[in-house]
Structures are given as C-alpha cells and as structure tokens.
Amino acid sequence: MIKRFIYTQISKAQQDTPVVMITGARQTGKSTFCQQLLKDGIFSGSYVTLDDPSVLAAAQSDPMGFLLDIGENVIIDEVQRAPEIFLSLKKLIDDNRNRRIILTGSANVMLQPKVADSLAGRIETHHLWPFSVDEINGRKSVFLDILINDEKNFESIPTRWEEIIGLIRRGGYPEVVNRLSESRRAKWLQVYLESILQKDIRDLANIDGLIYMPRILNLLSVRVGSTINMSDIARLTGIKNSSFQRYMALLEQVFMIVKIPAWTPNTEGQFVKSPKIFLNDTGLLCQLENSGDDLLQDRTQAGHFVENFIAMEILKQISWFNDPIKLMHFSMHKGAEVDLVIEDQKKMIYGIEIKSKTSLKPDDFKGLKKLAQLAGNKFKKGILLYTGEHVLSGFGGKNLQAVPINNVWGK
C-alpha cells in the first residue's frame, strides 16, 4: 500500500482537535486512508459511510439520534451527503470535547456558511490529493525545505523529457497508478469524468444545463495556468455569465479545479487580481485534451501541462509541510509574471517560474526580477525551474537561481 504523507498531520490533529475533516475529490483514496488509520491504531473508533443508503437515510431523518447511535469516536465517510448532522455534531462536541470525529467529504461542504459556522474553533481541515510523485516513489522531496528553510542546496540532476511527460500523462489517481496499460488508464479516466459530471455535480445542485459541463471543462483545460476571463468562456459556451459562475463554483466544490489566488504588493499598479485555474490532476488534463505522445514532440504545447503538474506537486507537498504557507501567482497587465509565488508565515516571498525548455536567457528571469523589486525586503528567493540539468546560481541576478525541474520531486 502506498503511504500517504498527510498521515502524520492527521495523527497529530486528532490528538487535540475534536473534528478532523479530510476533503478531496472522489477516488483519491480517502476511505482507504481512513481504514489505514483504524488498522494502525492511530484512530480508535468505528466507521460508517453515507454512501450506504440505509445509513444515509438514518443520518438525514434523525441527525442527533444517528450520532448518538454510532458512538463517541467515529469516522463518517462522505459527510457531504448529510449536512444536516453538523448542527447536532456541534452540540455533542460542546457537551464532550474529548469526543473525536473524523469526517471525509468528496465535495467541499465547508463552503456552506451554516456548516462552517457551526464547527468554527472545533475543526481542522486537511486535503487528500491524488498521489504525488513523492508518495508513489515512497520518499519525501526536500524541495520546500531547500526553498524556504535553506536546509541544503538544490542539485544538478539530469532531466529526461520522456520521464516528465510520462508522469504528467499518468497523473496520480490511485486506480490509474495501479493500471499498467495506457488504454485501461484512459478508460478509467473517461468513466471517472462522466461520473463526476453526471452524478456528483447533479447531486449537489439541481440545475439545468449540465450538458454544458464537458464543454466548460474542455475550455478550461486549454487555459490551465492562466487567469480566466469568465465572460469570454461563458460566451464561448453560449450560456449566461451568472450560470457559468455557478458551474465554476460546482467544479471547485468537487475539487475538479483548483484556484490559485494572485499576489499583489501594497501599492497601486496594473496588477492582475484574478486567480489562476489548474485541473486537479494532469492525467485528467491529458484525457480532456486527448494529448499523449504529441507532448513529447512539442515542448511549447506541453508548457501548460508542465505548469499544471508542478503546481499540483507543490500543492500536495504543502499539504504535509510542517509550516503553513500560501501558494499564489503574480502577474501584471503589462506582461511581467511569475507562475507561482509562495508566502511563508513571516510574509517572506519566494518566486517560482516554470519553463519546459532546456536552455535559458536573461530575459527568462524578468518576472522574478520584477517580483523581487516589488516585494523589496520581503523577497527571499526566486527560482526558475527548467528541463536542463545544472543549477545556475546568479544567472538571473541576486537571490535568483535556475534549477533542474525534477528537484521538485527528487531523483
């Protein structure tokens, strides 16, 4: 069994927090992860899933009675199916702060104001993404430790373009990782997409026009790594902007898309404030764009696939990193941009630019230089990830480095 690296964070959280919420898209391994917590004795209690119709009916009809029946310490799987239980859960937690509950959700039930308010101060939320390369390889990358804590230096590592594209095409969904045949992987991803769009989203919102969802996802897939003009995509799909905004919210609620907010300095200027959009898995991205071997031949076409891949790998690493850090992006209307910006607890800024090419020129660092100028004393370090093999210090200026891209996930 592949070890999930948020294991330690969940273990610590349930020791001092009444409710631990584990969110993530369907089929990312939440149920398996919870069963492992029980097996290892990290969590001592019972397990129920609201995917069971009879259990769901009990939870919906009598939330308090349901919670009293299942015991003090319990894992409740797929809790988004019965948001009715949260108010009763608050009462039970307030009556007994030693009660321990682990909840899982394939839809972000915490976006509902009444749910979020009911457990304020009583809940800690963690996200389980599809497998990272680190988890599949069985070793944690030290990328964030090097970037933020200066624990050691980045390494000159030979980069194989075929390996990078192979990782992008596979993605990290457990079922896909376990399938050896490319055609069987593609079949699973196809069925998975259909299931999310036709069932999960329909369960969340009884709205007309779900027929537009595949079209919306396809339009988003070619724009990953970019800020999104909502009105333009709404026009291309032929639906009202207000409806499009609702569809986007639903895709975010089931964790299909990820929004990365913009970093802006405390000054006036022509700064882009819209979030960047990424898909939660590059295997799904390849499925949507019907891309495969063609990525090997065209690094320019592969650019947004590479950026999506690196952004998600870093997000996964942030989920188990010891210190809380924020992931953002930086962009100006006049052209300067940095793909990813990390802000640590001390508000120090780290820029990450991502290139799929093997050779660099000084102009490739212009976004990082602008970020350093605007961040001033808060700018700690900037790196340009590229597909060459050498660490190039001082190539772009002070506190800037070019770093082989596979430093993100190690050798």
**Cα–Cα distances in Å, from 292 out to 279, 364, 386, 387?**
17, 27, 21, 19
Q: Which stretches does DSSP call E strand in 157-297? A: 257-260, 276-279
Does residue 109 lie within any of the structural domains?
Answer: yes
Question: Parallel, antiparallel, or unpaired: how do β-strands 101-105 and 19-23 relate?
Answer: parallel
Examine the domain organization and report whether 329 and 396 are in the same domain. yes
**Domain boundary residue among 127, 147, 162?**
127
Tell me the two tokens of residue 58. Answer: 């009990």
Does residue 1 lie within any of the structural domains?
Answer: no
Examine the domain organization and report whether 144 and 123 are in the same domain. no
pLDDT at 93 over 80: yes
Grade residue 208 by pLDDT with cuts at 50, 70 and 90.
Answer: low
Determine the Cα–Cα distance for residues 149 and 132; give it in Å rounded to an integer: 21
pLDDT of residue 207: 60
Q: What is the mean pLDDT of residues 90-94?
A: 93
Examine the domain organization and report whether 268 and 385 are in the same domain. yes
pLDDT at 111 over 80: no
Q: What is the mean pLDDT of residues 357-368?
A: 93
pLDDT at 312 over 80: yes
pLDDT: which is higher, 39 or 397: 39
pLDDT at 199 over 80: no
Examine the domain organization and report whether 55 and 121 are in the same domain. yes
Grade residue 104 by pLDDT with cuts at 50, 70 and 90.
Answer: very high
Q: What is the pLDDT of residues 119-145, one digit of tens each?
A: 888 999 999 999 999 999 999 999 999
Domain count, the chain: 2
Q: What is the mean pLDDT of residues 397-401?
A: 88
Examine the domain organization and report whether 63 and 170 are in the same domain. no
The residue whose two tokens read 């594209």 is 165
Lowest-confidence region among 37-41, 92-96, 149-153, 305-309: 149-153
Grade residue 209 by pLDDT with cuts at 50, 70 and 90.
Answer: low
Examine the domain organization and report whether 104 and 149 are in the same domain. no
Q: Which residues span the domain enclosing 97? A: 7-127
Examine the domain organization and report whether 65 and 214 are in the same domain. no
CB 158: neighbour CB atoms within 10 A?
Answer: 11
Query: pTM of the full predicted structure?
Result: 0.94
The residue whose two tokens read 């910006």 is 341
pLDDT at 77 over 70: yes
Determine the Cα–Cα distance for residues 198 and 193; give it in Å rounded to an integer: 8
CB-count exposure of residue 128 (10 Å: 0-12, 13-18, 19+): buried
Q: What is the mean pLDDT of residues 73-91?
A: 93
Examine the domain organization and report whether 250 and 312 are in the same domain. yes
Q: What is the mean pLDDT of residues 305-326?
A: 96
pLDDT at 225 over 70: yes
Mapped onto helix, strand or coil, the DSSP state of residue 228 is coil
Does residue 26 lie within any of the structural domains?
Answer: yes
Examine the domain organization and report whether 138 and 165 are in the same domain. yes
Q: CATH no. for residue 39? A: 3.40.50.300
Does residue 210 lie within any of the structural domains?
Answer: yes
**Cα–Cα distances in Å, from 358 out to 32, 49, 108, 387, 394?**
40, 49, 40, 5, 17
pLDDT of residue 330: 97
Tell me the two tokens of residue 61. Answer: 């009809």
Tell me the two tokens of residue 44. Answer: 């001592």
Examine the domain organization and report whether 357 and 262 are in the same domain. yes
Grade residue 116 by pLDDT with cuts at 50, 70 and 90.
Answer: low
Does residue 2 lie within any of the structural domains?
Answer: no
Question: Parallel, antiparallel, or unpaired: how do β-strands 379-386 and 400-404 relate?
Answer: parallel
Examine the domain organization and report whether 88 and 178 are in the same domain. no
**Domain boundary residue among 87, 111, 127?**
127
78, 51 contact by CB (below 8 A): yes
The residue whose two tokens read 């907010």 is 261
Examine the domain organization and report whether 198 and 223 are in the same domain. yes
Determine the Cα–Cα distance for residues 404 and 391; give it in Å rounded to an integer: 6
Does residue 71 lie within any of the structural domains?
Answer: yes
**Domain boundary residue among 112, 127, 142?**
127
Q: What is the mean pLDDT of residues 165-190?
A: 94
CB-count exposure of residue 262 (10 Å: 0-12, 13-18, 19+): middle
For residue 71, is it left (φ>0), alpha (ψ between -120 and 50) or beta? Answer: left
